Amino acid sequence: MKRFCMVAAALLLALGTGFAEAATLPRVNVGLNDVIDTLEKSYRSLNDVTADFFQRSTLASSRREMRAEGQMFLKPPTSSSPLMFRFDYFRPLTQEIVCDGRTMWMYLPENRQVIQSDVSFFFGPFSAGQYSNQPVNFLQGMGRFSKDFLTVFSSQQQDMAGNYVLELTPRRSSVTIAKMYLVIHREAVLAYVQNNRDITRIINDPRRPEFAFPLLSSTVIDPKGNTTIMEFSNVRANSRLMDGMFTFTVPAGVEVVRPPTGR
């Protein structure tokens, strides 16, 4: 149970980073705002996304590393509907983290227990909730992350594959995020600039479905130095995911634990 809670907490902190090995690519004339706009505008235009993920979490105190992989389903928030997501873990343990925007369920079949939490104050629509602008709520605010975070290029600016690396620092004190790094798909940024910065001309390209969700990976470092890395692959966007995917039916014989909300 302790291992499951640690993995779940790491997921809620953020979404992770990796640097792919590839031949060195020539420098390109792309500005910081172009990279920011490519991610923010594509996310605001997204109806839903499905992707495989690989997660790696490291505890600073012990250097203990935990790895996991699975599949993500996500529906970004709008002015009238909340953020909804589902993370199905396949390895090393089967587990589910499901959120319909009001309730979140964390289920580990091995323990025959599900943790059910009220998260409406975090994941409601943009216009609702006192926590809607908190940096902890990264999935909620990805469409406007530059307002919540001071955003600059990292010291290297691009990884070995030429993808752009952003360094984010919360504009307000956060108990969960001290620093965050995002890796943005180089070709998506170039396509955005080359198409007169019209995001609609690249996110609907059936030949490049990954352009609709150009976040390749993210790294979150919390105030204690713990690190959570998540990498995304096999992106499928706007496949009309049904809202029913983001609800959880408690299986027979499974204990339901409802922690205090802390509000």
The average confidence (pLDDT) of the chain is: 84
Q: What is the pLDDT of residues 5-15, one digit of tens each?
A: 555 555 555 44
Q: How confident is the model at residue 189 (pLDDT cuts 50, 70, 90)?
A: very high
Tens digits of residue pLDDT in 27-76: 557 899 999 999 999 999 999 999 999 999 999 888 888 999 999 999 99
**Measured over all CA atoms, what is the biggest interatomic distance in the chain, rounded to whole angstroms?**
59
Q: With contact defined as beta carbons under 8 Å apart, do 162 and 22 qualify?
A: yes
Q: 110: how many CB neighbours lie within 10 A of its CB?
A: 12
What mean pLDDT comes out for the span 71-97?
Answer: 91
CATH number 3.40.50.1220 given to 2-257: no
Residue closest to 220 by CA, chosen among 257, 174, 262, 254: 174
Total-model pTM? 0.82
| 3-state secondary structure string across the chain | CHHHHHHHHHHHHCCCCCCCCCCCCCCCCCCHHHHHHHHHHHHHCCCCEEEEEEEEEECCCCCCEEEEEEEEEEECCCCCCCCEEEEEEEECCCEEEEECCCEEEEEEHHHCEEEEEECHHHHCCCCCCCCCCCCCCHHHHHHHHHHHEEEEEEEEEECCCCCEEEEEEECCCCCCCCEEEEEECHHHHHHHHHCCCCCHHHHCCCCCHHHHCCEEEEEEECCCCCEEEEEEEEEEECCCCCHHHHCCCCCCCCEEECCCCCC
- For residue 127, pLDDT over 50 is answered with no
Domain ranges of the chain: 2-257
Provide the pLDDT for residue 260. 74
